[in-house]
Amino acid sequence: MGNSSSNPDLNGNQVNLAQFESIRMIGKGSFGKVRMVRHVERRDECYAMKCISKEHCIKLNAVRNIIRERTILEQLAHPLVCNMRFAFHDASTMYMVMDLMLGGDMRFHISRQRHPENVIRFWMAELICAVKYLHFQGFVHRDIKPDNILLDQEGHIHLTDFNIACSIPRKPQSLLRSRSGTIVYFAPEVFKGHGYNEDVDWWSVGITFYECIYGKRPWPGNETAEELAQTVLRGTICYPSTEGRSVSPSCVSAIQGFLEYEPNNRLGHGTSGWNRLVQHPFFHSVNWNAIDTKQTTPPFRPSSSQGNFDAIYDIEDLLVHSSGSISPRAANWFFRSSQPSELDERRVRLLKEIDEKFKPFDYTIYDKYEGFLDPNLMTVGPPPTWVKPAFGEDMTEIGRLSMPLDLSQTSDSVFFLQNPLSQPCRNILIDVHQEVKGNNRSDDCFRKSSRTDSGCTFSSSMEELKNKRRTSAQSFKERRERDRRRSAGKIRQESNGALIATTD
């Protein structure tokens, strides 16, 4: 999944359009169309391919948005996020190949029928886990809405569309100020213009929650942008009675918790807001650890006998070769209205930026790396170019969220963070009762793990870890030398815990 190499595979072959067969069109985004594709070599694996015209992005001044989205997606790997699997580009188009979700988006389902509270509770719990994970990775989504929440065939939700996502500001003077996103989901602080942070995502979760329950947003649909801003800033939200069913008080209370006018009082905000969220009566029955690891059975399963997409998308199949492979000419047809303009300096500069920053991405590279040369001595060959420095000083602390096993037994909620797969896995125990200030986190414990390890054992403290850090080259050379001399038993331990190979 995410957190993999931006470089070609070990055979020097970069991922390209010829490695995919087109099946059908399933949607369209802000900057291009989305097709269902099958990998030629991995015949049993289907994906969703986003085709994005370079010229269209240049015309809309969106090149940096696309590059930023591709960069963020490489750092994400979570069961409830629509993960990126491949990325590449050709002369005219950028491609991002994502997890395929055949259950349609949440908007599709809430617009066709009313769902009971247990279904909406399940959806919101999974969405909450995805948002919390994103925030621990250091990103704010800024466009959470039913259209950007996809269901798989089993009924699990997945957060997608990170086009306007960005890093969370860590200093008061660097708060976000741009009005980015969908205006009807803007939090009050966005309209105020004095700056905002990741708490806007919890407000958007609340508006989405409200839509799922009441089938509409809390604002009139015919207001201008200025009128909508005044309505939101007044802070008055109506919770009407629904026809044919009643909404439980705990459900209304949970929605109100997300739609608190003051960001610091919202469910999900900081330590206190998170504790109030997971202990809220509406979510009392939720097994957060099972939700976060996608180990639950969804109460609602999308229909498999009928499509969960608009039928009009199927006309796009006329652009596909009979062999099933995607025609570059067909991909360009998506954007016939945005043909190359004059070769001005800005266009040349942005095309160059795409070539430099929209790098190839292939998550299957780990299947191709042999790793251990000698399984007995556990020695490895020289690391390929895509291996990042082990525990470098500039290592970004981003990780994977797992929920506490039993919140009913303790108020000391904890999170287990795991570094991205592109770096050696580290699990860090975070006590959510300790406020996170600036870039500092309570890195209490550390352990090494494999890609598939999901255990929760811990050893050395973070302070000890800092004393043991080595550069990639030093670590590799020391391990190789230590393994070579291990048979002679010439290993001594330094006072700081580091193992050093010695000679007779």
Q: Which of the residues are catalytic?
A: 143
How big is the chain, counted in residues? Answer: 504
Strand runs labelled E in 54-106 = 84-89, 93-99
- Residue 152 has which token pair? 């798989």
Burial string for 431-467 (b: 16+ CB within 10 Å, else e) reads ebeeeeeeeebebebbbebeeeeeeeeeeeebeebee
Nearest alpha-carbon partner for 399 in 272, 277, 292 = 292
DSSP string, 27-50: EE-SSEEEEEEEESSSTT-EEEEE
Q: Contact 223/214 with Cβ under 8 angstroms?
A: no
Nearest alpha-carbon partner for 84 in 52, 126, 41, 120 = 52
Kindly give the interhelix angle for 249-258 and 199-214, rounded to the nearest 10 degrees: 150
Half-sphere exposure of 8 (CA within 13 A, CB side): 6
Is the CA virtual torsion 82, 88, 90, 92 positive or negative? positive
Q: Contact 153/102 with Cβ under 8 angstroms?
A: yes
Nearest alpha-carbon partner for 396 in 142, 74, 84, 175 = 74
- Residue 451 has which token pair? 């890609």
Q: Contact 274/432 with Cβ under 8 angstroms?
A: yes
162 burial class (0-12, 13-18, 19+ CB within 10 angstroms)?
A: buried
Q: Is 50 assigned to a binding site?
A: yes
| d(C-alpha 241, C-alpha 248), whole Å | 10
Helix, strand or coil, per DSSP, at residue 152? coil
How far apart, in Å, are the Cα atoms of 352 and each of 32, 74, 346? 20, 21, 10
Q: Which DSSP state fits 14?
A: P
Binding-site residue positions? 50
Binding-site residue positions for ATP? 50
